[in-house]
């Protein structure tokens, strides 16, 4: 049975571009990356598209959202929940012109989802957790961790610089928690690598401290670092798999 073609209409072309940049970063780490798409339905259409991806080797889930318009096609008003190729979705978004006032993208054909796609963070029940350091402290902690990894990697004898040895170093460093929270540093590293920790100067009032609108949330066994550009979610017990190795 042939599934009807589903087209996404983005409420803001800039959000389509930001989503494309997010997909490009996922593909940088894994050319065969898949993403799970979810969007609510309803007679009014519109709403938001949530895109879930797992950047290779980071042991986290990344979430990027984009507001949708309300196209007239009946199938566009039905709920959407499908796993697709990140590369094909990027191609579909790039097919639109940056000068278009309305950006659309055809949803690619479904693919067999990786195991992580079946275990997503809860939709609700999130509450803010205290203890997240300020933006500069977060960036400093990340810089110190990256510098330590590189220094310890360089100290390895040539014959000992194996993938398993480097993974052991990375696992030790990136499993450390941030400040007084339970958030592992790998979540912060993933957020920076995916462009989620960019400054949001327009949101900072004149004369205010250069802090960014970040928040740490928890629900069930999940922690989520939320920023203006996307979220990084991680289970307290981890997602399993590889470790982070700075590029």
Closest CA to 61 of 231, 212, 216, 184: 231
Predicted confidence (pLDDT) per residue in 59-72, tens digit: 899 999 999 987 55
Among 99, 118, 137, residue at a domain's last position: 118
Token readout for 18 is 């930001």
pLDDT value at position 168?
92
The whole-angstrom separation of Cα 166 and Cα 169 is: 5
Domain that holds residue 138: 127-216
Contact, 177 vs 184, CB < 8 A? yes
Contact, 112 vs 52, CB < 8 A? no
In terms of domains, do 62 and 109 share one?
yes
Q: How many separate domains does the chain show?
A: 2
Domain at 26, CATH number: 3.10.150
Contact, 25 vs 55, CB < 8 A? yes
In terms of domains, do 30 and 53 share one?
yes
Contact, 45 vs 69, CB < 8 A? yes
As beta bridge partners, residue 82 has 37
Predicted confidence (pLDDT) per residue in 131-146, tens digit: 999 888 999 999 999 9
pLDDT value at position 207?
53
Give just the sign of the alpha carbon dihedral 8, 63, 195, 163.
negative
Specify the pTM: 0.85
Residue 242 has pLDDT above 80, yes or no: no
């Amino acid at each position: 049975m042939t599934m009807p073609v589903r087209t996404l209409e983005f409420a803001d072309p800039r959000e389509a571009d930001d989503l494309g940049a997010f997909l490009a970063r996922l593909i940088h780490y894994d050319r065969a990356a898949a993403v799970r798409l979810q969007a609510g339905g309803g007679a009014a259409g519109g709403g938001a598209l949530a895109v879930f991806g797992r950047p290779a080797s980071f042991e986290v889930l990344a979430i990027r959202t984009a507001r949708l318009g309300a196209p007239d096609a009946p199938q566009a008003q039905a709920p959407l929940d499908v796993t697709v190729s990140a590369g094909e979705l990027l191609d579909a978004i790039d097919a639109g012109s940056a000068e278009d006032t309305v950006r659309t993208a055809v949803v690619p054909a479904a693919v067999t989802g990786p195991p992580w796609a079946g275990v997503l963070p809860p939709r609700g029940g999130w509450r803010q957790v205290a203890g997240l350091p300020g933006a500069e402290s977060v960036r400093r902690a990340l810089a110190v961790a990256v510098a330590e990894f590189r220094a310890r990697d360089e100290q390895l004898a040539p014959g000992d610089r194996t993938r398993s040895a480097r993974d052991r170093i990375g696992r030790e460093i990136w499993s450390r928690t941030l400040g007084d929270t339970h958030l592992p540093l790998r979540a912060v590293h993933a957020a920076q690598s995916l462009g989620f920790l960019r400054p949001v100067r327009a949101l900072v009032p004149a004369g205010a401290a250069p802090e960014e609108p970040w928040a740490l949330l928890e629900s069930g066994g999940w922690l989520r670092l939320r920023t203006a550009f996307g979220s990084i979610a991680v289970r307290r017990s981890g997602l399993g798999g590889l470790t982070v190795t700075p590029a």
